Amino acid sequence: MSVTSIIAHVLTGLGALVLFASGLGVFRLPDVFNKMHAGTKATTLGSILFLTGLGLFEPSWMPKLLLVVVFIVLTNPVSSHALARAAHNEPAEKPDNLIIDDLEESKGENQ
């Protein structure tokens, strides 16, 4: 077993673990904003680790996989912002456990 192969195994394993944690987080956390914490951060790093590990198994795939990584890093937070803002505008989806909510107050000021 070569060193590259060992690193690749470790990276894919870690990536799978982080992706699993992300899935579990989306399941366990109570409301839409907190679910989003697990759904964006953990999936982004999970995909980076997993795809880099995969690239080490098959070096000829590396450029394409790195491109996928760049697109995930650029687009994953954007989709999260869109969902978070939509959820905040929808009273039925908004959680009532927020300790402070400056966005709600500033909405009142604008109207």
Residues that bind another protein in the complex, under the rule CB under 8 A? 18, 21-22, 24-25, 28-31, 33-34, 36-38, 40-42, 44-46, 60, 63-64, 66-67, 73-74, 77-78, 80-81, 84-85, 88, 95, 97-104, 106
Measured from the CB atom, the residue of 2 and 64 that comes closer to another protein is 64
Instruction: For residue 56, count other CB atoms closer than 10 A to its CB.
Output: 21
The Cα-based distances of 18 to 14, 40, 92, 97, 109 in angstroms read 6, 12, 31, 27, 41
Minimum distance between the CB of residue 10 and another protein, rounded to whole angstroms? 15
Measured from the CB atom, the residue of 54 and 66 that comes closer to another protein is 66
* C-alpha span between 59 and 76 (Å, rounded): 25
Q: And the tokens for 47?
A: 């995909």
Q: Which residues contact 84 (CB under 8 A, 6 or more apart)?
A: 32, 33, 36
